[in-house]
Amino acid sequence: MPRKTKNIVKRELRDSDGVVFYSFMSNTTGRIIELEEHINSMILNSLPYNTVKAKASDLAKFYDYFIEASVVMHSDKYEKAVNENRAIAASHELRSTLTLIFQGYISFLLDGKKSKNPLARICAENLDISPLARASVSRMISSLCDFVSASNALEHSLQRQRKVGRLINVEQGLTAVGQQLGKVRNLSQRERTALIKNSYLASCISGGAKVTTIKNFFKLPPASKSDQDKYFPFECVGQFLASIKSKRDRAIYALCFGGGLRISEAASIRFKDLDVVKWRVKLHDKVTTTYLESVNYTNASGKPVDHYAVHLIEPFKTFFFNELFLYLENERPNMKSEYVFLQGRGVKNKFTEELVYNPFYHSKESTICEAWNKSLIRAGLTDKRFDKLGTHSMRHFYAVFMRNFAPRQDGGQGYSDDEVQYFMRHSSLKSTKIYAKETFEKMAQQINETNNALMKYETAFYEGSIANKLSMIEKQSKNS
């Protein structure tokens, strides 16, 4: 279950026509209009539902931290922690309170309650959060930077809001902000807290936009080289597929392993995308699903592809078509649908009382992940290296194999980055280059083999007779 936020309530709602939209409400100050505008504009622009949902969650967590930090910044506990560290105290004299809040966000996400930044640590304790994975932090920072950059256009109205609401300017040092707060001692504690939160929220966009333009401000600390590979282990693929009971899941996984498909792409294959005579598979253009198509919008997923051809490799190609035929004969519900793979559990139609089986790609991500994890357990693949391997590891498996080990017609192994880019249907070569890291290990192994061969050659040369030496030199000179 995702962690609930303390200071902000995020709701995914539908209007009377069934159109999806998001609402963000601060427990103290009310609606966060700029955040609602940013997220809902993504829906209006027909961004994939999963993308919008993830960014809404990322930014809700940021505002949860931001609102908490705006209060902690002026607490006795924080003041004491700052005074105990001279280096941090010096930083407070040079930076505005708003900048300090943004600066502490990375440590808040990465280190949580063990952060050396007192603001990040106290906020993590108050919000009871655990450290996040580096990849998650990187994504959340990206969501934040996109938000403050896109929302900077609202700055004019926010400046007007500051003047009308008589808010405090928090884009200055902590001492100066404290002096301004000292001038409103007649306020109750509740009113004072609301004033602080409103002041910081009103300055979030302008301050955030300034921060994100500073080079390396949000740069993550260097990461140690991880031994965790993102691709499914080569030696375990057969064991994994053999343990899966469902013919449908076997066929879908074979497409992912053997064609590099994303799970959403494999799950949404249609009958017209299959050529059972030539044993070919292609993807299809799903067409843009707009926010007005409320029924289909929340099921829209996946990234754009450069083309729709699928290059299936053996033995997965044969395995896929064999399992496909068995699925169609024995497992697939007797229902007319353009989609090949259907959900195993039907939903009763209220009017006809007939069971309706939805396309498998309508399944929730949690349902797909649960089935994946059960398959790993059934296959006996339960050691730590599988803890972070999800369904996308099958696509990584295909990419690593094609880049480094796939046999070529000229007798070599592995295809070029450009060729793998085509096989993976990447729109950018940058997405493909990450799979070439395995090549360096291969090169090191080849260099080692070459060195061993040279050592044997030199040993034979120096230990042999003079005649042997001369004959070897003669042969080399003729060959050169």
CATH superfamily, domain 234-404, is: Intergrase catalytic core (1.10.443.10)
Tokens representing 465 are 């007779």
Name the pLDDT band for 289 (thresholds 50, 70, 90): very low
Distances in Å between the Cα of 204 and the Cα atoms of 8, 207, 293, 319, 336 are: 15, 5, 34, 55, 53
- The answer to whether the CB of 329 falls within 8 A of the CB of 305 is no
Contacts of 255 (CB under 8 A, 6+ apart): 261, 265, 266, 269, 281, 310, 312, 316, 320
Sign, Cα dihedral of 266, 272, 278, 283: negative
The predicted structure's pLDDT at residue 291: 45
Question: Comparing 32-36, 131-135, 198-202, 355-359, which segment has the lowest mean pLDDT?
Answer: 198-202
Rounded-to-integer distance, Cα 391 and Cα 263, Å: 7
- pLDDT per position as a tens digit, 241-258: 988 989 999 999 999 999
Name the pLDDT band for 2 (thresholds 50, 70, 90): very low
Sign, Cα dihedral of 432, 262, 147, 64: negative
pTM metric for this prediction: 0.62
Domain boundaries, the chain: 8-212, 234-404, 440-479
Q: Does the pLDDT at position 224 exceed 70?
A: no
- pLDDT per position as a tens digit, 128-170: 999 998 888 988 988 888 888 776 665 545 555 544 456 666 6
Mean pLDDT of the region 164-189: 62
Rounded-to-integer distance, Cα 266 and Cα 253, Å: 8
